[in-house]
Chains A and B, each alone.
Chain A
Amino acid sequence: MNALIPYLVSVFLLLLIGLGCLMVKRDMIRMLIGLEILFNAANLNFVALSLGRAGFADPLGQSIVMMAIVLDGCVVAVGLAMALNAYKHYGTLDVRKLRRLRW
């Protein structure tokens, strides 16, 4: 279990960085990067936990990470397409300019 601690600390740091990125950054592309960091925190956790099990790398955890990377890619691709369309409408990627929706 002790060998896992550096990995778990990095996962926690990645989570904080990703969430911070989503909250602080105002650029659509940077927000998508923050999203990707969040997904990668979870992926790293999977890989780390699959290594600690039974003395060898568990293929279940690894294969799930492979699939999860593909799914993250799809989400970010859709996000980038939306950023492109938003740029066509507003001429900017700054989300502070996108405040026309009411509460």
Chain B
Amino acid sequence: MVMTYPLSASFLPLPLAVLLLGGGTLPLIGLLAEKTGLRRLKELWAIAFSTLNLISIYLLYQELRASPGRVIVSSLLGSPPLAGCFEIDTLGVYMAGCVALLGFLSVVYSYHYMEEESRLTEFYTLVLLMMAGMTGVALAGDFFTLFVFWEMMAISSYVLVAFLKHRWAPIEAGFKYLIMSATGSAFLLLSMSLLYGLTGTLNFAYLSASLRGAAPTPWLLLLLSALLIGFGVKAAIVPLHTWLPDAHPEAPSPISALLSGVVIETGLYAMTRIFYLIFHPDLFGVMMAALALITMTFANILALLQDDIKRMLAYSSIAQMGYMLIGVSTGTAYGIMGTLLHVLNHSLMKGLAFLAAGNIVYETGTRDIRKLVGVGRRMPYTVFSLFVALLGLGGIPSTNGFISKFILFSSAIGAGMPLLAVAGVLNSALSMAYYLRVLKTLVSTPEEEIEAGEPPLPMLAVTLFMALLIILLGVYPSPAIRYASAASRALVLRLESYMEAVMGG
């Protein structure tokens, strides 16, 4: 059932076209803003284009909802196996939707947060291009298209991490991030060349048709390990995670929210999609389970030792990646649904946690938890939203984190790995130790008078809105569950119809 894509004349998917247009024209708008004196024009331009991105994702969603098994193929030149193309299915739109939502909120938040910084034109251009890169990875139907957008996302994020270049820490963290992440990209390119050598194509559907179910040869195992290194660096799986606790806290807060909320999830998404397309789940299930166990335990223990609030949140992101890997390791549609739901929930919770921490940093100028005693009494709304985010990350019922963790752990039991579920529950309990420490510090009686108040209204509005979404998805999760389950079935159970849709025409 191949259908050409009516909204954009089968050239570029609409969200991607919107973001690339926005990012491409922003330098000109920035110049215009300087000339005419309308200084906030570039911010408004970025907000407008991220809103348009949200709307176009919604249009795509409406188009796909009518028939669940449908795949929209839009190719640059020629037909799928030869040319680079996009294959848009439910799963891709789900991921692109997460990116669009958090991207929009972060851009709105940046309007006030980044006000004092210079080089704002570059900042918003890079943010839009980073979002375009993630959307492209989500919608790609071809390994090479994926790689191009992958590098687009990666290069923008290197620059954004080192954006505050007048201080030493961002530069150092950015260089470390660049070296590690680019090594991962090189391994990705190597695994692409192996795939190309084995099959002669890079299109997902054709790769899946020729490799899935093949007996594991040494070449295939080499391919598996190269892919794991390539994606694992970006997804911060534990032996490859060391860049994350440096890079994420040193970026400006809205960028930390984007990096922790969606960039590492994009790495996980790409890994999940490609592994499920190429390999049988039996081949990597046990390995993923072991990695999940190591990732969450190691990161939770290290997070206990941190005094820097943003660094603690970065370690907590690694731990959450461990929970998401549980779902990948089960190999069932139910487990993948848990992973996808946790991707959405984590993007909201960790995004909110970093933005609320950003509010505190903006007002007090410090990230050291020990110096933040009693700040909660000065900025109750910010600290309330931080409470909601941290309780959600710990998995307290009535927040959305509980729902997705429950699904993840029960899927591990269903797949015959009760040990993994027990380890997950114990890790959640352990993680509450450092979340509650932050909460206790923020509300206890201050030793000396603190000069801080609530941040400007737009920043506060974004954090409160996200806290509302977290509680809303916690007490009424069925729409999110329904869509995540459709997306996971598209990946696990509808592989044949995916191949048919692409290759049939």
A interface with B by C-beta (< 8 Å): 15, 18-19, 22, 28, 31, 35, 38-39, 41-43, 45-46, 49-50, 52-53, 58, 60-61, 64, 67-68, 71, 74-75, 78-79, 82-83, 85-86, 89-90, 95, 98, 100-101, 103
Contacts and interface: CB of A to CB of B under 8 A. Distances in A.
Contacts of A64: 144, 192, 196, 202
B148 A75 contact: no
Chain A binding site: helix, strand, loop or mixed by DSSP?
Answer: helix
Nearest to A79: B178
A41 B191 CA distance: 11
B155 A41 contact: no
Contact of B185 (A18, A22, A50, A75): A75
Nearest to A39: B186
Interface stretch (B94-102, B161-169, B259-267, B474-482): B161-169
Nearest to B151: A71
Instruction: List 7 A-B pairs, minimum CB-CB distance, nearest first.
Output: A49-B197, A42-B189, A38-B186, A45-B193, A42-B190, A46-B193, A71-B151
A83 B154 CA distance: 18
Interface in B312-335: none
Contact of A82 (B144, B174, B187): B174
Given A38-B186, A101-B246, A79 B175 contact: yes
Contacts of A19: 183
Interface of B: 82, 144, 147-148, 151, 154-155, 158-159, 162, 165, 168-169, 171-176, 178-179, 182-183, 185-187, 189-190, 192-194, 196-197, 200-202, 245-246
Given A85-B165, A101-B172, A101-B173, A42 B200 contact: no
A71 B154 CA distance: 11
A71 B148 contact: yes
A64 B154 CA distance: 18
A95 B176 CA distance: 10
B196 A61 contact: yes
Contacts of A41: 186, 190
B144 A67 contact: yes
Contacts of A78: 155, 158-159, 178
Contacts of B151: 71, 74-75
A35 B182 contact: yes
A41 B183 CA distance: 12
22 contacts: A18-B186, A28-B175, A35-B182, A39-B189, A42-B189, A42-B190, A42-B193, A45-B193, A46-B196, A61-B196, A64-B196, A68-B189, A71-B155, A78-B155, A79-B179, A79-B182, A82-B158, A82-B174, A85-B162, A98-B172, A98-B175, A101-B173
Given A75-B182, A79-B178, A101-B246, 7 more contacts: A28-B175, A43-B193, A60-B196, A61-B193, A67-B148, A68-B147, A82-B162
A46, A58, A100 interface centre (most CB from chain B within 10 Å): A46
Given A42-B186, A45-B194, A60-B82, A100 B155 contact: no
Contacts of A42: 186-187, 189-190, 192-193
B187 to A, nearest CB: 8
Given A60-B202, A100-B169, A101-B246, A43 B183 contact: no
Contacts of B193: 42-43, 45-46, 49, 61
A79 B194 CA distance: 27
A82 B171 contact: yes
Contacts of B172: 86, 98, 100-101
Nearest to A4: B197
Contacts of B158: 75, 78-79, 82
B304 to A, nearest CB: 13
Contacts of B202: 60, 64
A82 B164 CA distance: 12
Contacts of A46: 189, 192-193, 196
B390 to A, nearest CB: 23
B178 A15 contact: no
Contacts of B175: 28, 79, 82-83, 86, 95, 98
Contacts of B200: 53, 58
Nearest to A89: B168
Nearest to A19: B183
Contacts of B246: 101
Contacts of B171: 82, 85-86, 89
Nearest to A87: B171
